[in-house]
Amino acid sequence: MPDPRFERFFTGKARDFLIRAIDLALEEDGPDLTSMAIFAPTDRLTASIVAKEEGIVAAGLPIANLVIDRMGQTGVCDLTFHAADGDRIPDRMVVATLIGPAVTLLKAERVILNFLCHLSGIATMVARAVAALAGTKTRLLDTRKTLPGLRYPEKYAVLCGGGVNHRIDLAEMLMFKDNHIDRAGGIPQAMAALRKAYHGRMKTMPPVEIECRTLAEVAQAVAESPKRLMLDNMDRETMAQALALVPAGIETEVSGGVDLDALAGIGALGPDFVSVGRITHSAKSADFSMLLKETVAS
């Protein structure tokens, strides 16, 4: 059965990017000349994808279906999933079984595992970070610190781990960062430039987030009534003072060099969000392997 969360996320642009990433991965590997020399076209294998660690949060299992489909082998392969994306799974659990032509499974093996290991590693790190925020209102956000071409799969993995997606691209949210503010001459001037550039030219203007480095900038940003206010690289004391200045109705986000060990303390201060780049750019790959054995004809 299709995974509902996977199918909801990977539609439209997101699915296009995923398909392009899969096609590129298959193209990078080229033809499997070794397997083609050893196995006959009629030889079939049974492949078991096995977790080699406990406590893994699975992410990306349905990509196996897409890999087989992009190889034009959907009709000759049988895939069975024993876990769903977002599940916690024990060590040595078989999460999927694939039966199909040997040359197909041997070529697909590394592509499937590369996606599964990378995305599950992200989901696992996210789950640990979310657990650190348990009992607070603060939600974990990802960033755009993603591998080129893999932003959509990586952000999907964040959802599987219990996190929340920040903007997918630069157009989804208008964010004033330090270089924008400094160039404009301040937060009020930056907002004036934004209104001049887009007011009346866009049917619906994307929400605005303003990055603040000081308490003075927080006060200026609050006066502009943005959707969200980012507290950038503030120490705990300054962060607490800044949060006290923000009225209800404006979201708050803590960002900048956030260590996972600091999450519980940040959550205790009560921001709406905390964004952590390392959950995508520094997550350790999960450990899965694919065990293959010859399928005996009945």
Take residue 185 and report the two structure tokens written for it: 């001459």
Please provide residue 197's backbone torsions phi and psi, each rounded to the nearest 5 degrees.
Answer: -75, -35
Q: Given its phi and psi angles, is residue 284 left (phi above 0), alpha (psi -120 to 50 degrees) or beta?
A: beta
> Pairing between strand 44-51 and 78-81?
unpaired
3-state SS assignment for residue 287: coil
> Pairing between strand 228-232 and 208-212?
parallel
Which of 280, 26, 24 has its CA nearest to residue 147? 280
> DSSP character for 260?
G
Burial of 215 (0-12, 13-18, 19+ CB in 10 A): middle
Give the 3-state secondary structure percentages of the chain, helix then strand then coil, rounded to 5.
Answer: 45, 20, 35
- Encode burial over 10-38: b for 16+ CB neighbours within 10 A, e otherwise: beeebeebbeebbeebeeeeeebeebeee
Active site residues: 110, 145, 177, 211, 232
Q: Are 293 and 276 in contact (CB under 8 A)?
A: no
Quote the CA–CA distance of 190 and 175 in Å, as a whole number: 10
Q: Are 285 and 267 in contact (CB under 8 A)?
A: no
Q: Are 3 and 86 in contact (CB under 8 A)?
A: no
Angle at 295 between CA 290 and CA 298, to 5 degrees: 155
